[in-house]
Amino acid sequence: MAIVIFDGVAYGMLLFLMAVGLSITMGLMNFVNLAHGSFAVVGGYAAAVVMNQLGLGYATALACAFVAAAVLGAVLEFLLYRRLYRAHPLDQVLLSIGLVFVSIAALTYFFGPSMLPFHLPEALQGQVTIAGVGVGRYRLFLIGAGLLILVLLLGMLRTRYGAMVRAAVDNQRVAAGTGIHVQRLFLLTFALGCGLAGLGGALSLGMLGLEPYFPLKYMVYFLIVVCVGGAGTIVGPFVAALLVGIVDVAGKYYLPEAGAFLIYVFMIGMLLLRPNGIIPRKGLA
Amino acid sequence: MKRLVLSPAQLRAAELAFWLLLACSFFLAPDHLTLLSQILIFGLFAVSLDMALGYAGILTVGHAAFFGAGAYAAGLLARHGWGEPFTGLMAALVVAGLLGYALSYMVVRGADLTRLMITIGVCLLLYELVNRLSGITGGTDGLQGMVVWPVAGLFEFDLFGKTAFVYAYVMVLLMFLLVRRVLRSPFGLALRGIHDNRKRMLAIGSPVESRLRMAYAFSAAIAGVAGALLAQTTQFVGIESISFNRSAEILIILVLGGTGRLYGGLIGAIVYMLVHDAFADLNPEYWMFWLGIFLIAVVMIGRGGIMGALSRLVRVKEQAR
């Protein structure tokens, strides 16, 4: 029982780490970005390349993953996303599905269709015993990383930068009138969201396989976390990710024949009960 | 650029020519009848999606749920001893329509994002269901051993797909005419009004929600017929007929042809399937790459797909429609 909850929490943290960037780009900036998984997988590949081929440490690899995904996000925001902030969601869906296809093809071209081998650093392998329960170090590390990012993001939303983002999202013209450089702000925020995705992708390397089809495979999980939690918030996806993680792990453990059922039933049920998420953003209809 | 002006009569002639040309393909490309039947069926599927997406404005990314439901309804019926094609189609229509109506209560309310999620979720849920109930549905191997009786007791489905093509052609044409009739009725006009300005329609007393629910259920029923047609003409139902990829594919077909236009889905299906067929020998990853680039380009430049581009070149004289 305890180990199931622990594994569920660790898996939930991983989902939170990967999906929180989507909550920023999709919820805060109102862009239906189905290509979020592509940024995550780019971060994962960047980390793997840095470690396998350049032989650098895990911490450096994580930083590189963040930077690679953030830079890619910034470039794509400048070239493509920027033009569609006010467009119909259908256009946004199509653009991001297109990006997913291109990323799958490009990654297959460069890295081949199979899973990329990856080894966690030794410090994260093995188990430690806490209160009589043997828990994996890597999972413990994930939980720590998730909590750290949660605190950092909550703190950031309280800064001047967070206030500026919220102002710019609520009313661009007024925000621009008060001297906020809205375009630059959105570029930065989008890059931050993508960077977080990349970091999540790199952190997931020990638990999920890295393959070109990653963006399609896990797209639904990101969307579930963000939609069930409430798009545009930080705490909502956190709670939702923990719930999804525990439900998924517990389901696989106790009811293996139910398979992926539980998670979809959970999502549909939650969306019926709270159509705008567990913690809806104020003012969002 | 000078726009070509068409009179309503000429437009009708163009429509007739389009369907005649499709019929003539039976003689022009006798070796590709299977592909042609599939083009017709996917065209109908895209038209059904257009009804929900283009006309009612319901953002749905899980329409394969209804396509698959129809396919399995007809397939299971034929597998268990009742292979009469027309009743199979009717069963698919009813099953998919009821499923669509039940779901419409969830889909019509809520914002675009919630709709997106619920439609994807239901599609994945059904996929999982079909996968789990492999005793009944065959799981990932697909439903095999369907026996479809001769059409109208006379025309047996042959190896070359001749009967299949004619059967699919006639059924798709009938369904298309039905959709056209519905969309040109007051109901269709109300849908267009809701699409353009929901608040105004509410203000003039139109029952917006129930109209949208009906449109969604009707669209689901037509999608189910398309699924059943594919099942009957290929004598097989694969699990991919209910997958998310199928949903994405049909969305792409519709957008390629042009949303909110009667012929958008059909034109999109023709172009997409022919290009896909030509690319099929190549590495699927290359195909994905070009498909992705194409999607980005459509969003960035080509508003309205092929039909949108056509409508910028050709204008119909009177505005009565």
Residues of A in contact with B110 (CB under 8 A): 271, 275
Please give, rounded to a whole number of angstroms, the shortest distance from the CA of B190 to a CA of chain A.
21
B122 in any annotated domain = yes
Chain B nearest CA to A246, separation (Å): 19
Element (H, E) at A238: helix A235-254
d(CA A39, CA A48): 14
Is the Cα torsion angle A138, A144, A146, A148 positive or negative in sign?
negative
Cβ contact B114–A276 (<8 Å): yes
A75-107 per-position pLDDT tens digit: 999 998 888 887 888 888 889 889 998 999 999
Give the integer Cα–Cα distance in Å for A47 and A100.
Answer: 20
CB contact under 8 A, A90 and B288: no
What's the confidence (pLDDT) of residue A285?
33
Higher pLDDT, A111 or B2: A111
B299 to chain A: which residues are within 8 Å by CB?
A: 84, 87, 91, 94-95, 98
Chain A residues inside the 8 Å CB shell of B296: 80, 95, 98-99, 102
The tally of CA atoms less than 13 A away on the side-chain side of residue B301 is 5
Give the B-side interface with A, CB within 8 Å: 53, 59, 61, 106, 109-114, 116-118, 120-122, 124-125, 128-129, 131-132, 244, 248, 251-252, 255, 259, 285-286, 288-289, 291-296, 298-300
Our CA-based measurement puts residue B286 at a distance from the nearest CA of chain A, in whole angstroms, of 6
CATH number at residue B110: 1.10.3470
User: Average pLDDT, stretch A141-168?
Assistant: 87
Handedness of CA A102, A53, A199, A185 (dihedral sign): negative
Rounded CA separation A9/A147 (Å): 11
- pLDDT computed for residue B5 by the predictor: 73
Q: pLDDT exceeding 70 applies to what percent of chain A? A: 97
d(CA B315, CA B6): 6
B285 to A275: CB separation less than 8 angstroms, yes or no: no
Interface probe with B: pick from A264, A265, A266, most Cβ of B within 10 Å = A264
Q: In sequence order, which ranges of chain B are alpha helices (DSSP H)? A: 8-28, 33-50, 64-79, 85-108, 112-132, 134-137, 162-184, 186-196, 198-203, 208-234, 244-257, 264-279, 284-300, 305-313
| Pairwise CB contact (< 8 Å): A268 & B128 | no
Eight-class DSSP state of B316 = E
With contacts defined as CB-CB under 8 Å, which chain A residues touch B288?
101-102, 104-105
Residue B24 placed within a domain? no
Q: Say which of B244, B248, B292 has its CB closest to residue A105.
A: B292
Nearest-by-CA chain B residue for A266: B121
With beta carbons under 8 A apart, name residues in chain B contacting A90. 53, 59, 255, 259
In order of their start, the domains of chain A are 1-273 (1.10.3470)
Is B80 part of any domain?
yes
Helices A2-22 and A137-157: crossing angle, nearest 10°?
Answer: 40
CB-nearest partner of B288 from A87, A94, A105: A105
Structure tokens, A235: 């705490």
- Three-point CA angle A269, B216, B94, nearest 5°: 95
SS3 content of chain A, % helix, strand, coil (to 5): 75, 5, 25
CB B112 to CB A89 under 8 A?
yes
Distance between A127 CA and the closest CA of chain B, angstroms: 34
User: B146: which DSSP letter?
Assistant: -
Q: Which of B222, B219, B170, B154 is nearest to B37 (CA)?
A: B170
* Cβ neighbours, 10 Å, residue B307: 21
Report the pLDDT value the prediction gives residue B1, as an integer from 0 to 100.
47
**B contacts of A100 (beta carbons < 8 Å):** 292
* Residue B176 within any structural domain of the chain: yes
In sign, the C-alpha dihedral spanning A262, A265, A267, A269 is negative
**Cβ separation of B125 and A268 shorter than 8 Å?**
yes
| Encoded tokens for B141 | 């191997």
**Interface A-B: count of C-beta contacts within 8 A:** 122
The one-digit pLDDT tens for each residue of chain B (321 residues) are: 456 777 778 778 888 888 888 888 877 877 788 888 889 999 999 999 999 888 888 888 889 999 999 999 998 888 887 778 888 889 999 999 999 999 888 888 777 777 888 888 888 888 888 888 877 777 777 777 777 777 776 677 776 777 888 888 988 999 999 999 998 899 988 888 888 888 888 888 888 888 999 999 999 999 999 999 998 888 888 888 888 888 888 988 998 888 888 888 899 999 888 888 877 767 777 788 888 888 888 888 766 778 877 777 776 655 444
Residue of chain A whose alpha carbon sits nearest to that of B53: A90
Residues of chain A found within 8 Å of residue B252, distances taken between Cβ atoms? 94, 97
- Binary contact (A102, B292; C-beta < 8 A): yes
In a domain, B67, yes or no: yes
Binning pLDDT at 50, 70 and 90, where does residue A198 land? very high
Residue B43 belongs to domain spanning: 4-19+32-316
Does ipTM come in above 0.90?
A: no
B296 → closest Cβ in A80, A257, A260? A80
| pLDDT at site B320 | 43
Beta-strand relationship, A127-130 and A133-136: antiparallel
Structurally, how many domains does chain B consist of?
1
Instruction: With CA atoms as reference, report the closest residue to A165 among A153, A157, A173.
Output: A157
Better-scored residue on pLDDT, B278 or A183: A183
B79 in a structural domain: yes
Q: Is residue B277 part of a domain?
A: yes
Q: Which residues of A touch B61 (CB under 8 A)?
A: 93
> Which sign, positive or negative, has the C-alpha torsion A142, A145, A151, A157?
negative
DSSP B164-211: HHHHHHHHHHHHHHHHHHHHHSHHHHHHHHHHH-HHHHHHTT--HHHH
Rounded CA gap, B72 and B79, in Å? 10
Structure tokens at A116: 């990329």
Task: For the full predicted model, state whether its pTM sits above 0.90.
Answer: no
B26 within a domain of the structure (yes/no) = no
